[in-house]
């Protein structure tokens, strides 16, 4: 995979060099700077929870979101079964095993440009991710809580409900470092 990436990187560089010689835009001193992807993330904890350690985790990070569904939906469904110790029964959002596994396998964050942006606020689901969202409780509830959200009660919340520092009301929003 790495070798293949390098090969493509070289190709891209060569392609970029040609572009450069043909480019007359003086503002762009080096338009051929290319980079190779190392990490990918959207929803929290997806790679860490659902992908076996070692090489598969790197592979997930180097899989394009457009290819993730086909590559990982079945494995995610199996993982949901394993986590529950029984065939995954579905979740409180009304999603069955295949639907939830398919949703998680394509690791993108759905973001609303018009409404409330939150991972889950009791009303809106997967419309963004705010700093204060208790994303782990949401994921635990959907993974372990069953269709009514009441199964495995000891596993559906970690009982850490907020950050250890208050967020700022203005840019850059995150609290100063410790």
Partner 1 sequence: MKNTTKMKVLGIALLVIVASGAYLIAADHIDAPGVTGSGSASLGSDITDVYAFANGDNMVFVVNTQGLMSPAATAAATFDEEVMLEINIDNDASKDHVEDLVIQATFKDGKVHIHGPKAPVTTGLISTQVSGTTVSADITEYGDAPVIGTAGGIKVFAGPRDDPFFFDLTTYKEIIAGTASMFDNPGTDTFAGTNVMSLVVEVPKSQLGTGTIDIWATSNRKN
DSSP calls for 49-99: HHS-SSHHHHHHHTS-HHHHHHHHHHHHHHHHHHHHTS-----TTS--HHH
Number of residues binding to partner 1, judged by CB under 8 A: 92
Least distance (Å) from partner 1 to the CB of residue 100? 17
- Residue 48 CA to residue 73 CA, distance in Å, equals 16
Measured CA distances, 3 to 10, 37, 71, 83, 115 (Å): 11, 13, 21, 34, 44
- Residue 25 CA to residue 29 CA, distance in Å, equals 8
Q: Does 17 bind partner 1 (CB under 8 A)?
A: no
Q: Does 150 bind partner 1 (CB under 8 A)?
A: no
Contact 127, 113 (CB under 8 A): no
Q: In the set 9, 14, 17, 148, which binds partner 1 (CB under 8 A)?
A: 9
Q: Among residue numbers 127 through 146, which ones bind partner 1 (CB under 8 A)?
A: 127-131, 134-136
**Nearer to partner 1 among residue 40 and residue 95 (C-beta):** 40
**Nearer to partner 1 among residue 63 and residue 100 (C-beta):** 63
Q: Does 112 bind partner 1 (CB under 8 A)?
A: yes
The single-letter DSSP state of residue 175 is P
Q: Among residue numbers 49 through 108, which ones bind partner 1 (CB under 8 A)?
A: 49-55, 57-58, 60-62, 64-66, 68, 79, 82-86, 106-108
Q: Does 32 bind partner 1 (CB under 8 A)?
A: yes
**Nearer to partner 1 among residue 95 and residue 117 (C-beta):** 117
């Amino acid at each position: 995979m790495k070798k293949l990436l390098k090969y493509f990187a070289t190709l891209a560089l060569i392609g970029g060099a040609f572009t450069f010689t043909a480019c007359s835009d003086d503002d762009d001193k080096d338009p051929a700077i290319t980079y190779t992807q190392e990490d990918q993330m959207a929803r929290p904890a997806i790679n860490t929870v659902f992908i076996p350690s070692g090489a598969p985790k790197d592979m997930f990070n180097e899989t394009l979101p457009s290819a993730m569904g086909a590559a990982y939906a079945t494995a995610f469904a199996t993982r949901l079964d394993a986590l529950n110790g029984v065939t995954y029964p579905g979740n409180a959002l009304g999603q069955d095993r295949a639907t939830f596994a398919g949703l998680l396998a394509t690791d993108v964050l759905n973001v609303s440009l018009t409404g409330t942006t939150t991972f889950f606020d009791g009303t809106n689901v997967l419309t963004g991710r705010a700093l204060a969202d208790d994303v782990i409780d949401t994921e635990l509830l959907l993974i372990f809580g069953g269709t009514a959200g009441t199964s495995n009660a000891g596993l559906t919340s970690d009982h850490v409900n907020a950050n250890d520092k208050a967020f700022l009301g203005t840019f850059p929003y995150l609290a100063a470092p410790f």
